Structure 1
Amino acid sequence: MILHTLIPAELIFQEGQSSQTRDKFVVYNGIPLIVEVMNETDLQVKQILSTNPNHYLQTDIYPGARISYWQ
């Protein structure tokens, strides 16, 4: 099976991994992101997965930025 995707294989095939992993895939303001969960409402951006170049130019979303997110 071949997957053509920007999402890392670790997030797709999570079987056998510990439940301690804090990396999650979310869509924030229409931008797909891989984030690390800091607490119930705060996330830290680890990677932007968008193919739209304008998403990389936004000043509030970049790797290392903290964003608020309510589920």
Structure 2
Amino acid sequence: MILYTPLSYQDIFPESQGTGNEIQAVEWQGRTVFVSKNNDGHYQINQLISSNPNDYLNPDFLPGRIIS
């Protein structure tokens, strides 16, 4: 089965429910990013959703970056 979607495999088929590390879509600096909340209350970028290729070259939106 082929799924044509910008979502990651884990978003479509989660391994387990209720792990506490839920991913949510938020608007950050005018872009939509999927983030997960860390134990210290900050958020970590998991995925950027954008139709602008230059957004993917911007180091502010790199996966793994910690935002508040």
TM-score, normalised by the number of residues in structure 2:
0.66
C-alpha RMSD of matched pairs (Å): 2.5
Distance 1:7 1:26 in 2: 14
Counting matched residue pairs gives: 64
Structure 2: gaps of 5 or more residues: none
Distance 1:8 1:61 in 2: 16
> How far apart are 1:11 and its partner, in Å?
5.2
Q: Matched residue of 1:35: which SS? A: strand
> How far apart are 1:33 and its partner, in Å?
0.8
Within a 5 Å distance, the mapping from 1:1-71 to structure 2 comes to 5-8=5-8, 17-18=17-18, 20-38=20-38, 39-40=40-41, 42-68=42-68
Q: As a proportion of its length, which structure holds more helix?
A: 2
Q: Matched residue of 2:60: which SS? A: coil
Instruction: Extract structure 1 runs of 4+ deviating beyond 6 A.
Output: none
Give identity over the alignment, percent. 32
Alpha-carbon distance change, 37 to 55 in structure 1, aligned in 2, over 3 angstroms? same
Distance 1:59 1:8 in 2: 20
